[in-house]
Amino acid sequence: MTVIGVGIDVCDVDRFGATLERTPRLRQRLFTPAEAERPLASLAARFAAKEALAKALGAPTGLAWHDAEVVSEASGRPRFELRGTVQDRAKELGVTSVHLSLSHDAGIASAMVVLEG
Q: What is the pLDDT along the chain (117 residues), one digit of tens a residue?
A: 899 999 999 999 999 999 999 998 999 999 999 999 999 999 999 999 999 999 999 998 999 999 999 999 999 999 999 999 999 999 999 999 999 999 999 999 999 999 999
CATH code assigned at 66: 3.90.470.20
Nearest alpha-carbon partner for 63 in 40, 35, 92: 92
Using an 8 Å Cβ cutoff, are 6 and 56 in contact?
yes
Which domain does 40 fall in, by range?
3-116
Q: Give the 3-state secondary structure of 56-107.
A: HCCCCCCCCHHHEEEEECCCCCEEEEECHHHHHHHHHHCCCEEEEEEEEECC
Q: How many domains does the chain have?
A: 1
Please tell me the pTM assigned to this model.
0.95
